Chains A and B, each alone.
Chain A
Amino acid sequence: MIRLVPRTEASAFWQIATPVMAVAATMLAGGLLFAIMGYDPVSAIRTIFWDPLFGPAAGYSRPQLLVKAAPLILIASGLAVGFRAGIWNIGAEGQYIIGAITGAAVALAAYPASEMWIFPAMVIAGALGGWAWGMIPALLRNWFGASEILVSLMLVYVAQRIAAWMAFGPMKNPEGFGMPGSRNLQQYPAASNPELIAGTGAHWGVVAAVITVLAIWFLMSRHIRGFHIRAAGTAPRAARFAGVKPQTLVAFCLGLSGALAGMAGLFEVAGPAGQITDKVGVGYGFTAIIVAFLGRLHPVGILLAGLLLALTYIGGELAQLTLNLPAATVQVFQGMLLFFLLGFDLLTRYRITRRVTA
């Protein structure tokens, strides 16, 4: 009979091994699925995981990996800090949308001025917007004990409605023939977030993602706040004795993850998306939750996980084009990845033993 025995300490080996196993299992199960659907599993897996990096059009798709991964990494880095402390921000999507709106608001108010301060001011406004949206669940939890999981999630829907209102109302492009959507910030040089070096895909959001990964790594491993966060997550009672104030931690974690999500929203709306529309949120805030867990809530892990998820998006598109795989494949893949990860995660906290029962 197989039994699960809890480990006294999480296994360092399985910490690293489970994400790798989850990816391998996703490829296997995905391949099986493709075979059942009547596609060649080997070429499907190769198209999704190999071609974007080394295929015939890799010169284009490789930089696109950075473009797609940057917002995921930015958001997931912030989420991971809270998740480590047991503070569950599920509403990064809403904070992303609000950040996009507040950041774009600065640009649209300044239009058509061309001062140097406009773009930095947009970044700050985007971060503040996301921060404020994250503070709502933080304050409601601190004052009334409301679940931050539910409140942050519900606020996503509120944010989507605000985005629709903006796109059809106050932010509507006055030169847009009555059609919804703001001015396109890509066409407003002082406010746009273009590729910094041609052919690399790297825009300011990519730069911010790299800086964030380093900063979060420093925070979590070198700073006293990082110690408090880790303590609160693993031993809340002990943490309290060590002087950790839970309310401060809630406000810090939700505020930080909100600000980073808001910044991600701004970089997207000023760059790849270009404008505020009712569909400004494209699910990065939710996908980032997968990225955070796949990256083991560790900054470097998140960097790799973000790139991997970006790979599934771009490879999924290639698979549609070359093999006619349905678009839903990508979502199935991402779902499987999280499913297998959580499944294998059992091994980091439990040992499997065989024991003969009497």
Chain B
Amino acid sequence: MNRRQLIASVAAMTTISLALPAWAQDEPLKVGFIYVGPVSDGGWTYQHDQGRLAVEEEFGDRVETTYLESVPEGVDAERALTQLALAGNDVIYATSFGYMDAVINVAAKFPDVKFEHNTGYKRADNVGTYDGRFYEGRAVTGTIAGRMTQSNKIGYIATFPIPEVIQGINSAYIHAKKVNPDVEMRVVWAYTWFDPAKEADAANALMAEGVDVILQHTNSTAPLAQLQQQGKIGFGQASDMASFAPTPRVSSVYNNWGAHYVKSVGRILDGTWQPEAVWGGIGDGIVAIGEITEAVPAEVKAEAEALRDKIAAGEYHPFTGPLNKADGSAWLAEGQTATDEELSGMNFFVEGINAELPQ
């Protein structure tokens, strides 16, 4: 290479690098997702990926999405998040609780990249959080459960004793009790989010105790398969599980993250994004109630849908007093509603639930 060529090529490179910023603005917004499971899991990660597809559909060429799937929480999370940031993503959605500290660490190193962490509580200048008020959905399915049970025993397959799950159990019980004062709640702790064998065992254990309606917080369809065999009913969880409709799946509470992702990406595109703590419910579209099937009598269906609409409109809060704690102490006075702060640290059952709550 002689000197003239060298000068020419340096000049060409300079032109390219000078031209880059202007060209970059016409580039699509790069949106990255990090998933804890495979996109084909049919549950938690599947619903997030549906949300990613909703973003693509809404914004078309203005966005470009990528994802990393099956990234375990722990040692790999920080590296995977860094890879997403290095790949030029403008915003990264981290879709599992266990990514929390890794998100905070990586966000500090990439101040120009926006991060949103699902189900966590740590925020920063470029880190927001988002979560669903799943207890709102449980109020609706709890109502259906209370009306539908013949044995007056309903069951709940719980995952881990964390506030989100405890909110769900309490909400389901409160609303079942409201329509059926004789109802009893049985709780089985499965200590897993997804394990078909354990979930099936839990469903069978509940049915052996006389339970005939089961609500599940775990994400597989195994409990529904067991319910089908014994002619009992249950609800879809995380995803709609419509393949088990009209019975045993009589309705579902599913996660519609697309409602949040479309709103959030839209705000980034028009420059109004802020690191917020989004906790959206039925009204925001994040928590959705799947179709209530014909296995449910019309008047029960109407009652459940009316409750759903009242919650969505903000006219009714599922935790409205009078409510006492399981130890008999007073919690909410007549007409008083629970604060978000109380809910996000919830570590007690409400009065009437005689089940073990591991501490």
Mutual binders A and B = yes
CA distance A11 to B68 in the complex (A): 43
Interface assignment of B283: CB less than 8 Å from any CB of chain A: no
| B68 A279 Cβ-Cβ under 8 A | no
Interface assignment of A317: CB less than 8 Å from any CB of chain B: yes
Interface assignment of A328: CB less than 8 Å from any CB of chain B: yes
**A27-35, A180-188, A210-218: which lies at the interface:** A180-188
Nearest residue, chain A, Cβ from B32: A321
Interface assignment of B82: CB less than 8 Å from any CB of chain A: yes
Interface residues on A, range: 35 or more
| A180 B68 Cβ-Cβ under 8 A | no
| A321 B84 Cβ-Cβ under 8 A | yes
* Interface flags, A148-185, vs B, CB<8A=1, else 0: 00000000000000001000110000000111110010
* Interface flags, A262-305, vs B, CB<8A=1, else 0: 00000010001111011110110000000000000000000000
| B79 A274 Cβ-Cβ under 8 A | no
CA distance A268 to B79 in the complex (A): 13
CA distance A61 to B123 in the complex (A): 27
Interface assignment of B335: CB less than 8 Å from any CB of chain A: no
Nearest-neighbour CB distance to chain A for B195, whole angstroms, equals 12
| B74 A277 Cβ-Cβ under 8 A | yes
* Interface flags, B52-92, vs A, CB<8A=1, else 0: 00000000000000111111111110111011101100000
Interface assignment of B105: CB less than 8 Å from any CB of chain A: yes
Please pick, from B80, B87, B359, the residue contacting A322 in the complex, using a CB distance under 8 A.
B87
| B121 A177 Cβ-Cβ under 8 A | yes
CA distance A184 to B344 in the complex (A): 20
Near A by CB (< 8 A), chain B positions 339-359 give 344-347, 358-359
Please pick, from A60, A177, A282, A320, the residue contacting B69 in the complex, using a CB distance under 8 A.
A320
CA distance A179 to B129 in the complex (A): 15
For B71, B79, B358, B359, the residue with the greatest tally of chain A CB atoms inside 10 Å of its CB is B79
Interface assignment of A318: CB less than 8 Å from any CB of chain B: yes
Q: Contacts A168-B358, A321-B83, A322-B87; is A180 near B345 (CB within 8 Å)?
A: no
CA distance A178 to B160 in the complex (A): 11
| B358 A282 Cβ-Cβ under 8 A | no
| A178 B162 Cβ-Cβ under 8 A | yes
Q: Contacts A272-B78, A279-B72, A282-B72; is A179 near B38 (CB within 8 Å)?
A: no
Interface assignment of B163: CB less than 8 Å from any CB of chain A: yes
Nearest-neighbour CB distance to chain A for B49, whole angstroms, equals 12
| B161 A168 Cβ-Cβ under 8 A | yes
Interface assignment of A307: CB less than 8 Å from any CB of chain B: no
| A326 B69 Cβ-Cβ under 8 A | yes
Interface assignment of A57: CB less than 8 Å from any CB of chain B: yes
Q: Contacts A60-B86, A279-B72, A279-B73; is A324 near B66 (CB within 8 Å)?
A: yes
Q: Contacts A57-B83, A327-B38; is A180 near B160 (CB within 8 Å)?
A: yes
| A328 B86 Cβ-Cβ under 8 A | no
CA distance A12 to B347 in the complex (A): 64
Nearest-neighbour CB distance to chain B for A256, whole angstroms, equals 23
| A282 B74 Cβ-Cβ under 8 A | yes
| B344 A177 Cβ-Cβ under 8 A | yes
Q: Contacts A164-B191, A181-B98; is A317 near B69 (CB within 8 Å)?
A: no
**Chain B residues within an 8 Å CB radius of A318:** 83
| A327 B101 Cβ-Cβ under 8 A | no
CA distance A321 to B161 in the complex (A): 35
**Chain B residues within an 8 Å CB radius of A60:** 82-83, 86
**Chain A residues within an 8 Å CB radius of B345:** 177-178
Interface assignment of A314: CB less than 8 Å from any CB of chain B: yes
Interface assignment of B97: CB less than 8 Å from any CB of chain A: yes
For A164, A168, A313, the residue with the greatest tally of chain B CB atoms inside 10 Å of its CB is A168
Interface assignment of A67: CB less than 8 Å from any CB of chain B: yes
**Chain A residues within an 8 Å CB radius of B84:** 321
Interface assignment of A47: CB less than 8 Å from any CB of chain B: no
Nearest residue, chain B, Cβ from A56: B86
* Interface flags, A318-352, vs B, CB<8A=1, else 0: 10111010111000000000000000000000000
Nearest-neighbour CB distance to chain A for B64, whole angstroms, equals 12
**Chain B residues within an 8 Å CB radius of A268:** 74-75
Interface assignment of A18: CB less than 8 Å from any CB of chain B: no
* Interface flags, B29-49, vs A, CB<8A=1, else 0: 000000000100000000000
Please pick, from A275, A283, A328, the residue contacting B101 in the complex, using a CB distance under 8 A.
A275
Nearest-neighbour CB distance to chain B for A56, whole angstroms, equals 9
**Chain A residues within an 8 Å CB radius of B105:** 186
CA distance A57 to B88 in the complex (A): 11
CA distance A122 to B98 in the complex (A): 23
CA distance A324 to B67 in the complex (A): 8
**Chain B residues within an 8 Å CB radius of A89:** none
| A280 B74 Cβ-Cβ under 8 A | yes
**Chain A residues within an 8 Å CB radius of B72:** 279, 282-283
CA distance A282 to B75 in the complex (A): 8
| B97 A179 Cβ-Cβ under 8 A | yes
| B163 A177 Cβ-Cβ under 8 A | yes
Interface assignment of A64: CB less than 8 Å from any CB of chain B: yes
CA distance A57 to B80 in the complex (A): 13
Nearest-neighbour CB distance to chain B for A278, whole angstroms, equals 8
For A57, A164, A179, A277, the residue with the greatest tally of chain B CB atoms inside 10 Å of its CB is A179
CA distance A72 to B4 in the complex (A): 52
| B74 A327 Cβ-Cβ under 8 A | no
**Chain A residues within an 8 Å CB radius of B74:** 268, 272-273, 277, 279-280, 282
| A67 B79 Cβ-Cβ under 8 A | yes
CA distance A180 to B183 in the complex (A): 31
Nearest residue, chain B, Cβ from A321: B87
* A-B residue pairs, 6 tightest by C-beta: A327-B70, A272-B75, A273-B74, A327-B69, A273-B75, A57-B86
Can you name 9 A-B residue pairings with CB atoms under 8 Å? A57-B87, A169-B358, A177-B344, A179-B162, A282-B72, A283-B72, A314-B79, A326-B38, A327-B70
Apart from A179-B163, A274-B101, what 6 extra A-B contacts exist at CB < 8 Å?
A: A169-B359, A177-B163, A178-B346, A272-B78, A277-B98, A327-B68
